[in-house]
């Protein structure tokens, strides 16, 4: 299998070189571009598996570039931004970026995000036509790009990264029992913080956070095997 081909668009030469070197050390093929025209040339020149896009580029904004790229391609995009405000993150994700990384980022974090986005894209690609990235179950809505959960009465419900990923795994296998071991395995490949919380703790937290006064959270324990989301989940 050929290593994934990453195109990095960043106007600061040292950051470009340092990031490219770090990604290459982790086995990726990296090409770089310093401006928008260079990016278009590079996209035409060779197939690209992932785009790392700096939001603040000379002349054009990465946000506009992202919009243009999205018109013709569903190539995964990770935004890199020195702005780092929550609103920027949301704007980026709404434009169809797959993830958002605030500067200054470390190599480990970058590699984890790249890996997660590529993996998600590989799994989701068979589903073809790009979804809005919403999962609906039992009147709850999970917004995958924003990593946000909305309750049946419309309130924003905030989960930790690990809890959100676990919930998504449960939804992806809705109404099917998932073995604890499989859930642990799924959560290992998860990006971000190195939490080694046991699945049982995460499940009990999820249950509390997903409970509604008149009904319990739709997560059931299957004794000796694992857990199950006992309502249908629909991808939108």
Which residues of this chain interact with other proteins, rule CB under 8 A? 12, 14-15, 18-19, 22, 82-87, 103-108, 151, 153-163, 193, 195, 197, 205, 208-209, 211-213
Residue number, 2 or 87, with CB nearest to other proteins: 87
Rounded-to-10 torsion of CA 105, 109, 111, 113:
-100
Residue number, 85 or 175, with CB nearest to other proteins: 85
Q: How far is the CB of 148 from other proteins (least distance, A)?
A: 9
Q: How far is the CB of 64 from other proteins (least distance, A)?
A: 19
Q: How far is the CB of 122 from other proteins (least distance, A)?
A: 26
Rounded Cα gap, residues 204 and 197, in angstroms? 11
Q: How far is CA 206 from CA 60, 62, 210, in A?
A: 42, 36, 6
Q: How far is the CB of 172 from other proteins (least distance, A)?
A: 22
Residue number, 147 or 180, with CB nearest to other proteins: 147
Residue number, 60 or 195, with CB nearest to other proteins: 195
Residue 97 class from Cβ within 10 Å (0-12 exposed, 13-18 middle, 19+ buried)?
A: buried
């Amino acid at each position: 299998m050929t290593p994934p081909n990453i195109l990095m668009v960043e106007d600061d030469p040292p950051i470009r070189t340092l990031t490219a070197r770090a990604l290459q050390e982790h086995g990726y093929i990296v090409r770089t571009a310093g401006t928008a025209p260079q990016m278009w040339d590079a996209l035409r020149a060779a197939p690209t598996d992932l785009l790392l896009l700096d939001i603040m580029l000379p002349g054009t904004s990465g946000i506009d570039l992202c919009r243009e790229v999205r018109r013709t391609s569903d190539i995964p995009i990770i935004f890199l931004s020195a702005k780092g405000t929550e609103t920027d993150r949301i704007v980026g994700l709404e434009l169809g970026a797959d993830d958002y990384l605030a500067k200054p980022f470390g190599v480990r974090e970058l590699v984890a995000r790249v890996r997660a986005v590529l993996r998600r894209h590989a799994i989701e690609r068979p589903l073809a036509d790009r979804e809005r990235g919403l999962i609906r179950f039992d009147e709850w809505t999970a917004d995958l790009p924003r990593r946000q959960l909305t309750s049946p009465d419309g309130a924003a419900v905030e989960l930790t990264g690990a809890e959100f990923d676990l919930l998504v795994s449960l939804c992806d296998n809705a109404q099917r029992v998932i073995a604890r071991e499989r859930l642990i395995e799924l959560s290992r490949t998860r990006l971000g913080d190195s939490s080694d919380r046991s699945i049982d703790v995460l499940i009990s937290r999820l249950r509390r956070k997903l409970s509604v006064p008149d009904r319990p959270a739709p997560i059931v324990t299957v004794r000796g095997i694992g857990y199950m989301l006992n309502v249908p989940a629909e991808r939108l």
